[in-house]
Amino acid sequence: MTMKIAAVIPAAGIGTRMGNKGAPKQFLEIGGKEILRWTIEAVAASALVEGIVIVAAEKELDSISKKYSDIPKFVASVAGGATRNRSVYNGVLAVEAETVLIHDAVRPCVSESLIERTVFAALKHGAATAAIRAVDTLKKAYSEFLGASMERENAVLVQTPQVFNRTLLLDAFARSANEGNRWTDETSMLTDRGIPVAWVQGDPANIKITTPEELALASIILSA
């Protein structure tokens, strides 16, 4: 049966910036619970999301299926690809839904209200993302020195969730299949194709955990 809205959570990354030589960052724990579980439960808490697919390294698939089988909305785990774009593509193919929500595995602090605002914007416009306005001075940066200033007035910092009409997203993937790993997210892939993406006000607490400092900050947010 086709769902109206399903979520894909890419969790196949290694997380080299964390400096952790053991488990990938999505499997690190906060308060005795893996970051990935925090994230899945946060997405599952939205009444709008009907099912969740986890994209992971092939060696992790059996473990993930066992660990998260207790979450009613968990549908399946599928193998990721060589790049993030390919991993997300594999996840999108695995869901039968009219609308697909993509959310980073290491953004465990996402709120129900942010998910809902992004979904409603995507249902209206076809594609939408959470983002926050840049408030600091923006400069180009080189190896040692700063370069020219960049306009801040129209700059935003893009987060996830990112939500898309599935047909629209798959068409963008098809048109971009031979262009390698140019994009850090699906919003970039669409806008580079001239496809408009709406944005809603994100949440500064919706941090992406990539460093030990961000892990500590997420621990504080989640404990609160």
Q: What does the pLDDT profile of the chain (224 residues) look like in tens digits? A: 689 999 999 998 765 555 555 578 999 999 999 999 999 999 999 999 999 999 999 999 999 999 999 999 999 999 998 888 899 999 999 999 999 999 999 999 999 999 999 999 999 999 999 999 999 999 999 989 999 999 888 899 999 999 999 999 999 999 887 776 678 899 999 999 999 999 999 999 999 999 999 999 999 999 98
Strand partners, 7: 52, 101
Of 80, 82, 54, 84, the closest CA to residue 66 belongs to 54
Q: Output the pTM of the full model.
A: 0.93
pLDDT for res 199: 98
- Its sign, for the CA torsion 42, 204, 13, 88, is positive
Residue 209 vs residues 21, 28, 140, 159: alpha-carbon distances, Å: 16, 10, 24, 12
How many Cβ atoms from other residues are within 10 Å of residue 183's Cβ?
19
pLDDT for the residue numbered 22: 59
Backbone dihedral region for residue 32 (phi beyond 0: left; psi -120 to 50: alpha; all else: beta): left
Question: 3-177+184-223 architecture in CATH?
Answer: Alpha-Beta Complex (3.90)
Closest among 144, 33, 163 to 98, alpha carbons compared: 163
